[in-house]
Amino acid sequence: MIPRNARLLLIGFLVMLVVGGCRTWSSSEERAAQAYNEGNALMEAGMLEKAVAAYLLALEHEPDMAAATYNLALSLVELDRGDEALVQLQSLNQRDPMNLKVLRAMGWAAWESGRPDASLDYYQAILIIFPADVEALRGASEVYEAIGRPADAVEMRLFLVRLNDSVAARMDLAQTFSMAERYKDTLNIYQDVLIQDPTNLEALIGASVATEEMGMYRNSIKYRLELMDTAVDSGETWWHIARLRLVGIGDYEGGLKALETALEEGFSDDDAFEDLLISSPPAVRSDVRNLLSGKAGN
Protein backbone atom coordinates (compact mmCIF):
# COMPACT_ATOMS: atom_id res chain seq x y z
CA MET A 1 0.00 0.00 0.00
CA ILE A 2 1.22 3.45 -0.93
CA PRO A 3 -0.47 6.44 0.73
CA ARG A 4 -2.32 8.00 -2.18
CA ASN A 5 -1.40 11.52 -1.12
CA ALA A 6 2.27 10.64 -1.59
CA ARG A 7 1.65 9.61 -5.19
CA LEU A 8 0.39 13.11 -5.85
CA LEU A 9 3.73 14.54 -4.86
CA LEU A 10 4.96 13.75 -8.33
CA ILE A 11 2.55 16.33 -9.70
CA GLY A 12 3.20 19.96 -9.23
CA PHE A 13 6.94 19.96 -8.72
CA LEU A 14 7.96 19.49 -12.33
CA VAL A 15 8.36 23.24 -12.77
CA MET A 16 10.96 24.21 -15.31
CA LEU A 17 13.76 26.49 -14.22
CA VAL A 18 13.81 29.75 -16.11
CA VAL A 19 16.83 31.97 -16.37
CA GLY A 20 15.51 35.37 -15.48
CA GLY A 21 16.18 38.58 -13.64
CA CYS A 22 19.20 40.78 -14.02
CA ARG A 23 21.79 38.48 -12.45
CA THR A 24 24.14 36.73 -14.85
CA TRP A 25 24.22 33.00 -14.28
CA SER A 26 27.48 31.12 -14.11
CA SER A 27 28.14 28.35 -16.62
CA SER A 28 27.80 25.82 -13.79
CA GLU A 29 24.35 27.15 -12.89
CA GLU A 30 23.25 27.07 -16.51
CA ARG A 31 24.41 23.45 -16.94
CA ALA A 32 22.63 22.49 -13.72
CA ALA A 33 19.44 24.18 -14.90
CA GLN A 34 19.62 22.44 -18.25
CA ALA A 35 20.10 19.02 -16.62
CA TYR A 36 17.31 19.72 -14.14
CA ASN A 37 14.89 20.68 -16.91
CA GLU A 38 15.82 17.54 -18.80
CA GLY A 39 15.23 15.46 -15.68
CA ASN A 40 11.78 17.00 -15.26
CA ALA A 41 10.82 16.17 -18.84
CA LEU A 42 12.07 12.60 -18.46
CA MET A 43 10.30 12.21 -15.13
CA GLU A 44 7.03 13.43 -16.59
CA ALA A 45 7.45 10.97 -19.48
CA GLY A 46 7.96 8.11 -17.04
CA MET A 47 11.61 7.57 -18.00
CA LEU A 48 12.71 7.46 -14.38
CA GLU A 49 16.17 5.88 -14.71
CA LYS A 50 17.18 8.58 -17.17
CA ALA A 51 15.56 11.23 -14.98
CA VAL A 52 17.70 10.08 -12.05
CA ALA A 53 20.84 10.41 -14.17
CA ALA A 54 19.82 13.92 -15.24
CA TYR A 55 19.16 15.06 -11.66
CA LEU A 56 22.49 13.62 -10.52
CA LEU A 57 24.19 15.55 -13.30
CA ALA A 58 22.45 18.73 -12.15
CA LEU A 59 23.71 18.11 -8.63
CA GLU A 60 27.24 17.58 -9.90
CA HIS A 61 27.14 21.15 -11.17
CA GLU A 62 25.15 22.59 -8.23
CA PRO A 63 25.31 20.28 -5.16
CA ASP A 64 22.95 22.52 -3.16
CA MET A 65 20.20 22.54 -5.77
CA ALA A 66 17.21 21.61 -3.58
CA ALA A 67 14.73 21.16 -6.43
CA ALA A 68 16.97 18.61 -8.14
CA THR A 69 17.49 16.75 -4.87
CA TYR A 70 13.77 16.64 -4.22
CA ASN A 71 12.79 15.38 -7.67
CA LEU A 72 15.68 12.92 -7.59
CA ALA A 73 14.22 11.49 -4.39
CA LEU A 74 10.74 11.19 -5.91
CA SER A 75 12.15 9.36 -8.91
CA LEU A 76 14.06 6.98 -6.66
CA VAL A 77 10.93 6.13 -4.68
CA GLU A 78 9.07 5.35 -7.91
CA LEU A 79 11.95 3.03 -8.81
CA ASP A 80 11.55 1.15 -5.50
CA ARG A 81 14.74 2.70 -4.17
CA GLY A 82 13.16 4.25 -1.11
CA ASP A 83 16.23 3.97 1.11
CA GLU A 84 18.28 6.00 -1.35
CA ALA A 85 15.47 8.52 -1.62
CA LEU A 86 15.40 8.95 2.15
CA VAL A 87 19.08 9.83 2.17
CA GLN A 88 18.40 12.63 -0.31
CA LEU A 89 15.33 13.85 1.56
CA GLN A 90 17.11 13.79 4.92
CA SER A 91 19.71 16.16 3.52
CA LEU A 92 16.90 18.56 2.60
CA ASN A 93 15.25 18.10 5.97
CA GLN A 94 18.47 19.02 7.75
CA ARG A 95 18.56 22.27 5.83
CA ASP A 96 14.87 23.05 6.42
CA PRO A 97 13.30 20.91 9.19
CA MET A 98 9.93 22.71 8.89
CA ASN A 99 9.48 22.02 5.19
CA LEU A 100 6.20 20.08 5.02
CA LYS A 101 6.64 19.08 1.38
CA VAL A 102 9.89 17.31 2.24
CA LEU A 103 8.41 15.65 5.32
CA ARG A 104 5.48 14.32 3.27
CA ALA A 105 7.89 12.82 0.76
CA MET A 106 9.87 11.29 3.62
CA GLY A 107 6.71 9.65 4.92
CA TRP A 108 6.10 8.11 1.52
CA ALA A 109 9.71 7.04 1.02
CA ALA A 110 9.84 5.42 4.46
CA TRP A 111 6.69 3.46 3.69
CA GLU A 112 8.10 2.29 0.37
CA SER A 113 11.23 1.17 2.21
CA GLY A 114 9.15 -1.09 4.43
CA ARG A 115 9.43 1.17 7.46
CA PRO A 116 5.86 2.02 8.52
CA ASP A 117 6.89 3.25 11.97
CA ALA A 118 9.27 5.77 10.42
CA SER A 119 6.62 6.76 7.89
CA LEU A 120 4.20 7.44 10.72
CA ASP A 121 6.82 9.48 12.57
CA TYR A 122 7.23 11.77 9.58
CA TYR A 123 3.48 12.28 9.17
CA GLN A 124 3.15 12.97 12.88
CA ALA A 125 5.99 15.49 12.67
CA ILE A 126 3.98 17.35 10.04
CA LEU A 127 0.88 17.32 12.23
CA ILE A 128 2.84 18.82 15.11
CA ILE A 129 3.78 21.72 12.83
CA PHE A 130 0.37 21.98 11.16
CA PRO A 131 -2.39 19.79 12.67
CA ALA A 132 -4.75 20.38 9.75
CA ASP A 133 -2.39 19.16 7.03
CA VAL A 134 -4.73 17.07 4.86
CA GLU A 135 -2.03 15.02 3.15
CA ALA A 136 -0.37 14.09 6.44
CA LEU A 137 -3.72 13.15 7.97
CA ARG A 138 -4.49 10.89 5.02
CA GLY A 139 -1.03 9.38 5.01
CA ALA A 140 -1.08 8.70 8.75
CA SER A 141 -4.56 7.18 8.57
CA GLU A 142 -3.54 4.82 5.79
CA VAL A 143 -0.44 3.74 7.67
CA TYR A 144 -2.51 3.16 10.81
CA GLU A 145 -4.92 1.03 8.78
CA ALA A 146 -2.13 -0.99 7.21
CA ILE A 147 -0.43 -1.78 10.52
CA GLY A 148 -3.66 -2.80 12.22
CA ARG A 149 -4.47 0.28 14.27
CA PRO A 150 -7.91 1.22 12.89
CA ALA A 151 -8.98 3.08 16.05
CA ASP A 152 -6.15 5.56 15.52
CA ALA A 153 -7.00 5.77 11.84
CA VAL A 154 -10.60 6.65 12.75
CA GLU A 155 -9.40 9.72 14.65
CA MET A 156 -7.49 10.90 11.59
CA ARG A 157 -10.45 10.28 9.29
CA LEU A 158 -12.84 12.10 11.61
CA PHE A 159 -10.58 15.14 11.55
CA LEU A 160 -10.44 14.98 7.75
CA VAL A 161 -14.24 14.98 7.56
CA ARG A 162 -14.37 17.99 9.85
CA LEU A 163 -11.97 19.77 7.53
CA ASN A 164 -13.80 18.75 4.36
CA ASP A 165 -17.17 17.03 4.66
CA SER A 166 -17.11 15.63 1.15
CA VAL A 167 -18.61 12.33 0.02
CA ALA A 168 -15.13 10.97 -0.63
CA ALA A 169 -13.95 11.84 2.88
CA ARG A 170 -17.03 10.27 4.42
CA MET A 171 -16.65 7.12 2.36
CA ASP A 172 -13.04 6.79 3.54
CA LEU A 173 -14.23 7.23 7.12
CA ALA A 174 -16.88 4.55 6.63
CA GLN A 175 -14.27 2.07 5.43
CA THR A 176 -12.09 2.86 8.43
CA PHE A 177 -15.06 2.46 10.79
CA SER A 178 -15.61 -0.95 9.21
CA MET A 179 -12.00 -1.94 9.83
CA ALA A 180 -12.49 -0.90 13.46
CA GLU A 181 -15.65 -3.08 13.54
CA ARG A 182 -17.81 -0.05 14.26
CA TYR A 183 -20.50 -1.25 11.89
CA LYS A 184 -23.31 0.97 13.14
CA ASP A 185 -21.20 4.06 12.45
CA THR A 186 -20.25 2.56 9.09
CA LEU A 187 -23.88 2.01 8.16
CA ASN A 188 -24.91 5.51 9.22
CA ILE A 189 -22.41 7.04 6.82
CA TYR A 190 -23.42 4.83 3.90
CA GLN A 191 -27.09 5.58 4.52
CA ASP A 192 -26.39 9.32 4.48
CA VAL A 193 -24.54 8.94 1.18
CA LEU A 194 -27.39 6.89 -0.30
CA ILE A 195 -29.89 9.61 0.58
CA GLN A 196 -27.92 11.92 -1.72
CA ASP A 197 -27.08 9.27 -4.31
CA PRO A 198 -29.29 6.14 -4.14
CA THR A 199 -27.25 4.40 -6.85
CA ASN A 200 -23.82 4.86 -5.25
CA LEU A 201 -22.29 1.44 -5.88
CA GLU A 202 -19.67 1.60 -3.15
CA ALA A 203 -22.20 2.77 -0.57
CA LEU A 204 -24.68 0.01 -1.48
CA ILE A 205 -22.02 -2.68 -1.17
CA GLY A 206 -20.68 -1.15 2.04
CA ALA A 207 -24.15 -0.94 3.56
CA SER A 208 -24.80 -4.56 2.65
CA VAL A 209 -21.57 -5.68 4.28
CA ALA A 210 -22.19 -3.58 7.41
CA THR A 211 -25.72 -4.89 7.90
CA GLU A 212 -24.53 -8.45 7.39
CA GLU A 213 -21.87 -7.99 10.05
CA MET A 214 -24.59 -6.68 12.36
CA GLY A 215 -26.73 -9.77 11.72
CA MET A 216 -29.30 -7.75 9.80
CA TYR A 217 -29.45 -10.23 6.93
CA ARG A 218 -32.74 -9.09 5.38
CA ASN A 219 -31.43 -5.52 5.22
CA SER A 220 -28.24 -6.80 3.64
CA ILE A 221 -30.28 -8.63 1.00
CA LYS A 222 -32.26 -5.44 0.35
CA TYR A 223 -29.07 -3.50 -0.41
CA ARG A 224 -27.84 -6.30 -2.67
CA LEU A 225 -31.10 -6.25 -4.60
CA GLU A 226 -30.72 -2.51 -5.10
CA LEU A 227 -27.41 -3.22 -6.77
CA MET A 228 -29.32 -4.83 -9.63
CA ASP A 229 -30.07 -1.33 -10.92
CA THR A 230 -26.36 -0.57 -11.22
CA ALA A 231 -23.62 -1.85 -13.51
CA VAL A 232 -22.47 -4.34 -10.86
CA ASP A 233 -21.82 -7.99 -11.81
CA SER A 234 -25.27 -9.55 -11.35
CA GLY A 235 -23.81 -13.05 -10.97
CA GLU A 236 -21.78 -12.04 -7.94
CA THR A 237 -24.70 -10.07 -6.51
CA TRP A 238 -27.03 -13.09 -6.79
CA TRP A 239 -24.32 -15.20 -5.17
CA HIS A 240 -24.25 -12.97 -2.11
CA ILE A 241 -28.06 -13.01 -1.97
CA ALA A 242 -28.05 -16.80 -2.17
CA ARG A 243 -25.53 -17.08 0.66
CA LEU A 244 -27.49 -14.65 2.85
CA ARG A 245 -30.77 -16.46 2.24
CA LEU A 246 -29.36 -19.94 2.79
CA VAL A 247 -27.03 -19.28 5.70
CA GLY A 248 -28.38 -16.07 7.19
CA ILE A 249 -32.17 -16.32 7.28
CA GLY A 250 -32.80 -19.97 6.40
CA ASP A 251 -34.82 -19.19 3.28
CA TYR A 252 -33.87 -22.38 1.49
CA GLU A 253 -36.20 -22.06 -1.48
CA GLY A 254 -35.26 -18.42 -2.14
CA GLY A 255 -31.60 -19.19 -1.54
CA LEU A 256 -31.49 -22.06 -4.00
CA LYS A 257 -33.24 -19.98 -6.65
CA ALA A 258 -30.75 -17.17 -6.10
CA LEU A 259 -27.87 -19.64 -6.30
CA GLU A 260 -29.21 -21.06 -9.55
CA THR A 261 -29.50 -17.54 -10.97
CA ALA A 262 -25.95 -16.68 -9.87
CA LEU A 263 -24.60 -19.72 -11.70
CA GLU A 264 -26.66 -18.94 -14.79
CA GLU A 265 -25.23 -15.41 -14.73
CA GLY A 266 -21.73 -16.88 -14.87
CA PHE A 267 -20.56 -16.67 -11.26
CA SER A 268 -17.67 -19.08 -10.73
CA ASP A 269 -15.37 -19.15 -7.71
CA ASP A 270 -14.10 -22.47 -6.38
CA ASP A 271 -13.24 -21.06 -2.95
CA ALA A 272 -16.67 -19.48 -2.63
CA PHE A 273 -18.29 -22.78 -3.66
CA GLU A 274 -16.38 -24.65 -0.98
CA ASP A 275 -17.20 -22.06 1.69
CA LEU A 276 -20.89 -22.22 0.85
CA LEU A 277 -20.95 -26.01 1.03
CA ILE A 278 -19.28 -25.92 4.44
CA SER A 279 -21.56 -23.21 5.84
CA SER A 280 -24.85 -24.40 4.31
CA PRO A 281 -27.29 -26.00 6.79
CA PRO A 282 -27.32 -29.82 6.56
CA ALA A 283 -30.96 -29.79 5.40
CA VAL A 284 -30.07 -28.02 2.17
CA ARG A 285 -26.44 -29.02 1.65
CA SER A 286 -27.16 -31.79 -0.84
CA ASP A 287 -29.27 -29.42 -2.95
CA VAL A 288 -26.46 -26.86 -2.92
CA ARG A 289 -23.98 -29.55 -3.91
CA ASN A 290 -26.18 -30.66 -6.80
CA LEU A 291 -26.41 -27.10 -8.13
CA LEU A 292 -22.68 -26.57 -7.83
CA SER A 293 -21.85 -29.91 -9.39
CA GLY A 294 -19.99 -29.36 -12.62
CA LYS A 295 -19.69 -25.58 -11.99
CA ALA A 296 -16.49 -25.56 -9.93
CA GLY A 297 -13.51 -24.80 -12.10
CA ASN A 298 -15.70 -23.71 -15.04
Question: Read out DSSP for 46-79?
Answer: T-HHHHHHHHHHHHHH-TT-HHHHHHHHHHHHHT
* Among candidate residues 179, 184, 205, the one with its CA nearest the CA of residue 1: 179
pLDDT exceeds cutoff 90 at 46: yes
Question: How much is the pTM?
Answer: 0.81
What contacts 24+ positions apart, CB below 8 Å, involve 185-190? Answer: 186/210, 187/211, 187/214
> Domains in the chain and their CATH numbers?
1-122 (1.25.40.10), 233-298 (no CATH)
* Average of per-residue pLDDT across 57-79: 96
Query: Which of 95 and 26 is assigned the larger pLDDT?
Result: 95
Instruction: Please state, in angstroms and rounded to a whole number, the distance separating the CA atoms of residues 78 and 50.
Output: 13
On the CB side of 209, CA atoms within 13 Å amount to 16
Asked if the model's pLDDT at residue 4 lies above 90, the reply is no
